[in-house]
Amino acid sequence: MYPREIFIVLTKRLPNTTLFDMSCPFHNPTNPTDPFREPRERDGVLVNNFQGREIPMVLRHEDLRNAARDWRTFSSDAPFKVPIPTEEDVRTVRQLPLEVDPPEQQDYRALVEPFFNRAKLPEVIARMEMLVGELVTAVRDRDSFEAVREFAIPLQSRALAILLDMPDTEAKIWIGWGTHVFRDGDGASKGAALEAYTNALLDCAQAKPGSDFFSALTQAKIGDRPLTRQEMLGYCSIVYAGGRDTIINSITGIVAHLAHTPADFEYLRADRKRVIGASEEFFRVLSPVTHLSRQCTRDTEVHGVKVAAGEFVSLCFSSANFDATVFESPDEVKLDRRPNPHVAFGFGPHLCLGAAHARLVVRTLLNVLCDQVAKIDILEHTWKNEDEPSFTRQVAADRLEMKFTRL
């Protein structure tokens, strides 16, 4: 069981900030967030060896969207193998509705979509504003704080409790899980512990149902039958895993950018209507999910690379979000970018269930920072990479010592 336990006001925005600014440790030319530019422009595909399997990565925006729509050829019906790296060593249940194809996938999605849409309710928005305000206030007057573990993880965990209508006491347990429920530490033991913890929650919910997500699962029906316990666990697995490191990494990436680009901070402070568009640009640039895989149902070809039936391709969202044929000057952070058809939340039938929740967290964070904080400083930092044979992508802060200065 897991333990319980800028100060210059700008009237006009400065020129667009280049993403590869040497003053910014998160975005720099020696370790870029877009390592796919050359293969994307030259070939449209990059073959990488993932866990001993040669998998072509679909890199271009249009190609990715076409593949994401074509579930009959590029199937998600591959339990444990949609995430990269694969997760057969850390969980025993199929994640729902991620690892199912339409039309069954649509039935599974429709069952829980109303709960995820709670992020649009006024009362949920108000609770999120109160939470983020409390967390920013708590660190604002300190000489320093570590933004990953003392800010981003508590924010993600407690925000999830709001979404799932769970007590904040449960969030205190989730805070102890680190940045990823499987990959931060011993994945096999964490996975087993997570399933045991979730089974206990479902047992309690079944015995005494409430208004929370877990109670809803115990009362739900798919078609004319109740959900099996395995199906309930499959939903819970994606809730805990799918929206954890992605939101944590988004939070730290955003505060790091605002620390090193105070003009963007003041640009948002000057007009809060800009926050919505800015949030979408942050999701595009940070692309918290690098890629997910699809299993080919028939022999096919991806830009000249033959893929046999039963083998896999990768849909590389982080590459598609920097496709210069779609995004003008993709290496620039343009908080007023219009249009912005990014695929940070995926595309097609498997569009991220938690997108509304992630958007709410980021919008609320930006507004509260504009209300309370005059200046953000990074004091120390170390960054995490995805190191693969064919690419290295800087994805997140591992440690981020910061200071917020009161407005």
Q: Residue 154: pLDDT band by 50, 70, 90 thresholds?
A: very high
pLDDT tens digits, one per residue of 189-219: 888 999 999 999 999 999 999 999 999 999 9
pLDDT of residue 280: 98
Helix axes 355-372, 153-163, angle to 10 degrees: 130
Q: How many CA atoms lie within 13 A of 347 on its CB side?
A: 22
DSSP-assigned letters across all residues of 225-272: EEPPHHHHHHHHHHHHHHTTHHHHHHHHHHHHHHHH-HHHHHHHHH-T
pLDDT tens digits, one per residue of 287-334: 999 999 999 999 999 999 999 999 999 999 999 999 999 999 999 999
pLDDT tens digits, one per residue of 124-139: 999 999 999 999 999 9
CA distance from start to end of the chain: 41
Residue 173 has pLDDT above 80, yes or no: yes
Q: Is the separation of the CB atoms in 71 and 349 below 8 Å?
A: yes
Domain assignment of residue 8, yes or no:
no
pLDDT tens digits, one per residue of 54-77: 999 999 999 999 999 999 999 999
Domain assignment of residue 10, yes or no:
no
Number of domains in the chain: 1
pLDDT of residue 7: 28
pLDDT tens digits, one per residue of 213-233: 999 999 999 989 999 999 999
Give the global pTM. Answer: 0.92
Residue 184 has pLDDT above 80, yes or no: no
Domain assignment of residue 336, yes or no:
yes
Give me the domain span that covers residue 217: 17-406
pLDDT of residue 10: 30
In sequence order, what E strands does 89-237 have? 145-146, 221-222, 225-226
Domain assignment of residue 6, yes or no:
no
pLDDT of residue 188: 75
Q: Residue 11: pLDDT band by 50, 70, 90 thresholds?
A: very low
pLDDT tens digits, one per residue of 348-392: 999 999 999 999 999 999 999 999 999 999 999 998 899 999 999
Q: Is the separation of the CB atoms in 139 and 378 below 8 Å?
A: no
Residue 93 has pLDDT above 90, yes or no: yes
Domain assignment of residue 282, yes or no:
yes
Here the tokens at position 311 are 């083998």
pLDDT of residue 242: 85
Residue 2 has pLDDT above 80, yes or no: no
Omega cis (within 30) before 167: no
Alpha helices in 23-121 (DSSP H): 37-42, 61-69, 104-116
Domain assignment of residue 11, yes or no:
no
**In angstroms, what CA-CA distances link 125 with 174, 277, 351, 362?**
21, 18, 22, 12
Domain assignment of residue 5, yes or no:
no
pLDDT tens digits, one per residue of 246-257: 999 999 999 999
Domain assignment of residue 258, yes or no:
yes
- CATH number for position 176: 1.10.630.10
pLDDT of residue 283: 97
Residue 3 has pLDDT above 60, yes or no: no
Which DSSP letter does residue 10 get?
P
Q: Is the separation of the CB atoms in 383 and 26 below 8 Å?
A: yes
List beta partners, residue 402.
Answer: 145, 378
Average of per-residue pLDDT across 240-265: 94
Residue 12 has pLDDT above 60, yes or no: no
pLDDT of residue 226: 97
pLDDT of residue 169: 94
* Percent of the chain predicted with pLDDT > 70: 92
Average of per-residue pLDDT across 106-120: 96
Residue 235 has pLDDT above 90, yes or no: yes
| Mean pLDDT rounded to a whole number for the chain | 91
